[in-house]
Amino acid sequence: MIKIYHNPRCRKSREGLALLEKSGKDFEVVKYLEDTPSKEELRKVLSYLGISPEKLVRKNEAIWKENFRGKLLTDEEIIDAMILHPKLIERPIVVNGTKAIIARPADSIHSIL
């Protein structure tokens, strides 16, 4: 099952959702700001993406700048920060099986459909 981690207030996320809707494929929408992924789920997504937790962080968010920027954080601490503040998670993320992408630009979704 295809899954999109979606923030309805984000233009890029809405573009990704629209592309999935046009694809005709079944998919699940996870509004991750309301339904925050568990630590285990976030670790799994990171492994599918093949990136470190730091690469999934939106570093221009005020929460990051005010609380975390410039600090030496472990991967676990970064994951904990994203769970505590899901707004820090880059979006949209599209998962298909064991493959995932950060869908920026939205057209990159085609690569895992």
Q: Give yes or no: 10 in active site.
A: yes
Helix axes 75-84, 39-49, angle to 10 degrees: 120
Region of residue 89 (left: phi > 0; alpha: psi -120 to 50; beta: else): beta
Q: Please count the helices (runs of H) and the strands (runs of E) in the chain.
A: 4, 4
Catalytic position from the list 10, 51, 63, 83: 10
Q: Which residues pair with 27 in a beta bridge?
A: 2
Element (H, E) at 93: strand 93-96
Give the span between the Cα atoms of 5 and 90, in whole angstroms.
Answer: 9
Q: Which residues are catalytic?
A: 10
